[in-house]
Structure 1
Amino acid sequence: MKWLTALFGLTLISCIGIATFSYAAGSKLVEGDVLKIEGEFYTVHDTAGHEVRLHVDKTTHLEGGPFKAGDKVEAHVTDKGHARSMIHLTAAGKMATPGSKIVEGDVLKIEGEFYTVHDTAGHEVRLHVDKTTHLEGTFKAGDKVEAYVTDKGHARSLYHITSLHPTS
């Protein structure tokens, strides 16, 4: 019985550790108002009422900048707080790109301006990639990617990622 209890405890601890690591490995979208800018760090008051500190540097794709305190923004942010891209939202306070999301997966094929990505949920997602898309390098079938995508399927930015499923 002690052996079974120990096995259960170890399994539970492992599952919590994996869930925490998996959560930390993801990117997120942050929408809110810029409170202050201090060098490469922007403090954003997000829609949930939290203050989020974002790292913004020369690798961040800025759309609609320059930014200042009071601006409404949406940022594609890594798990470490680095803003991969940031866009201005409309003056009315509504999202410039309603339904924006992050798509992670493997590139299945590229046909002209359309990339088909097999996402982590098992779906095939068709992305429109054109000259307005911020690309981090070149892409080919088999690449693991992360894209910041509008509700219409347009990729605002596309990045290479090293692993979709981290191992411990």
Structure 2
Amino acid sequence: MAEIALKIEEWKKIYKEVIKVTSEEEIAYLKKPTVATVQKFKELKEEDQYKALAFIFKECVLEDKVYEDEFILSASKSLLEKIPKAVESTISKEVGVDEIKKSAALVRHYFNKDPYAMPIDEFHQLVGEALWLQEYKNKQLEMTLSNVLVKTFANNSF
């Protein structure tokens, strides 16, 4: 028991959070998927839901053990319930479309990090911060332009 506790502590140092999924016979320890893993899962899900669930389990399981297929599917579903839902991704100018890629671009721009390699919850946190920064910069630009226009046209009398 002490050995698994040490492993869990090591995993937490690397992955920040370890998710324990259990059934009557089996236990699995999982990390949260990266953005790239979730994106690949969504692609696979369109072709074969079971293959997609097996993929996400394989990508996130922390122990190299053999698990029953039924447990893998159940554990994958449990894992997916624990992560925030993301919007499908492709780049488009339309509002509300392609949000993952747009959000990833903001994270790369403001924080110089690869959004596809980070855990999904960290990605969502940085997206929120990037959106705040973008809004702040827009307000600063608006105030600057207002000041320039006031100074330019206030001194001219017609």
Q: When you count strand as a share of all residues, which structure comes out higher?
A: 1
Q: When you count helix as a share of all residues, which structure comes out higher?
A: 2
Q: Considering Cα pairs closer than 8 Å and 6+ residues apart, tell me whether 1 or 2 has the greater RCO.
A: 2
Tell me, yes or no, whether TM beats 0.5.
no
Bucket of the pairwise TM-score, normalised by the shorter protein: under 0.3
